[in-house]
Chains A and B, each alone.
Chain A
Amino acid sequence: MTVERKSICFRPPEGFETESLFEDNGLSVKPGKTQKRRVRRIFYDTFEWQLLANNAAAIQENRLLSLYNLDTGLPFASVGHSATARFFHPFELKDEKFRSEIERYTELRALIKRCTVEVDIVSQQLLDEEEKTIAILNRETYFLFKEKKSRILITENLAITPLKGFQEETETFASGTGKLLGREHRTRYRDLFMQFMDAAGVPVNDYSSKIRITLQPGDPVQKSAASLLLGTLDIMKRNEPWIPENIDTEFLHDYRVAVRRTRSVLGTIRDIFDSGTTARYRNAFRNAGKACNALRDCDVYLLRESDYRAMLPESLAPHIAAFFKELHELHRIELRRFSSFLRSKAYRAMLDEWNGLLGETERNPVPVATQDTEDRSTLAVAKKNIRKAWKKVLRHGRAIPAQASDAELHSLRIDCKKLRYLLELFASLFPDKTMATVVRQLKELQENLGMFVDLAVQQQYLAGHIEQMKEKPSDPELAAALGGLITTLHCRQQKNRKLFHRTFRHFDNDETETLFNALLNS
């Protein structure tokens, strides 16, 4: 519960002398001691700019890593951190308090070095009548720091930062400064941040794993589907170069979601292409998905390392190390294998052709000859497919008996995923509010099913590992640890199984039906 302080910034005009602020300003503030220093600041953010989206920035200065609020220009959390690596993960940070601050923005994504800025700062104390420092006036000259110590001037900034409890006095002084310099010279740290990235040639907010394509209801569905598929292709391409670098797990995750969405569009919207073309690309993307299944498994289990250790009693926890050691090795092999898949001529050629086909279809959608005369406009097809997918979820869900089997819940999970993809892909055709509510209802069911299937898959994976151990020198402690994990996961799965019917009833009710009808009959 801190009273917010805020730096007040101005862009000084050319030839501006700081001393002029103290001449005849009618204020009781006078200049105190002056200090000069030079600092280097390394800016970090995730691939998705999750910090910037929350008006925050992670900045490494000397041996201190700080989180800054870009509105106030002030740090709100700091930790000793000497590494200046190209990237780091929140979980690597030992300070729990700082880590939880950063995990408010990202848990899984690494923070990647975005640019390095050198700042020449002339700091001047601003004193009141009692000669108490009320604020610091910083004249900051920013340079883009390049390799071989070369630097390029970016901009100048005049920042007036109040000491705690002196915001009002500082604002009075800043208001005088504003009058002297002119309103147009007022700036914000967020603007400076953008200037730094611009100078470094780093595009900001240039990535989202969500499809944000606005479709036209009356367009032929071929055209809209091509636009959506170009969107998923773009996400795949954006993530591909980063996957081999092994920076974080989300590059592969987003790639795989884009592949699944592609397959889902090809599988649910018929007649975008002729059946031969559709079958060829469905197969190609199924192969792309398969090629990284093992790598994704490694990612998922490696992320669970601390959870697994926590699940086990102290006597068994250390013995799980051998499992993770093997997993690391497997990850290395799978990463190399999938990286070479991504580089392979066959895959690249397939994507190029796919890109060409989609571009052509988007520009010149030619309806595939069909025998029926149904409405093939985007909105009509979207409604029809969503309705079909929704009804399928209801039909399959209602058929699941009290003692739901793993296979039944797994199958329902896939139905839900298909419905979710359709809702998200065609979201731009429907009112935001209704769509958001429908997705929220579905999400709750998906979370239950996702958790259930996930727990089942984990047990199978660990059991598979025990199976393999039969052929290797025996490690009874590891087998016991894996057995312990399977038992715990099984208990959790059983609890989840009991919750399924309640969660499904929450989805299969009058309220959700009304929402879907409102959406599909609009």
Chain B
Amino acid sequence: MAEQIIFFILAVAIALFSVLAVTSKRIIRSAIYLLFVLVATAGLFLMLHYHFLFAVQVTVYAGGIMVLFIMAIFLTHRPGEIVDRRTNRKVKSSMLLSFGGLIVCGYIIVQNVTRTYSYVKEYEMKMQDIGYAMLGTGKYQFLLPFEAISLLLLACIIGAIMIARKEKSVESTDNKDLDK
């Protein structure tokens, strides 16, 4: 019973804050609502007994990505600035699309998924098992995607630096223009 109550609170928080995050007029509030959604998702992982995933979600998403978002918002917007949205017609059509998809997929889920689960209670994964599965080369082991992700992170670091650095020549011409 307690589990159901906790799940209900987390589910209501996720639904409410994810809708608020995409409809809020002030962009910094959207970022904070997104932070609440991410933390509530970490709570869902904890309810599924995935403790490692919970830790990764809190550190990477709610820690790292949210800091990136907030710093980017502070670098590119005045705080408290109201950002306007698209035209009314666009809002209506995309709301129609979202609600239609929500209803269709929700109908499919409610009709088909209710009888088909088998939940093993109090089954907790050991950290050693996760480590062996992540760094093994056998069947159901994940060394290759792990290495691919490490290469991707390296490429991402280099790409982000390449994109965000200031170009020297453009900078100097801009300064000349300002001087005139």
Are A and B associated in one complex?
no
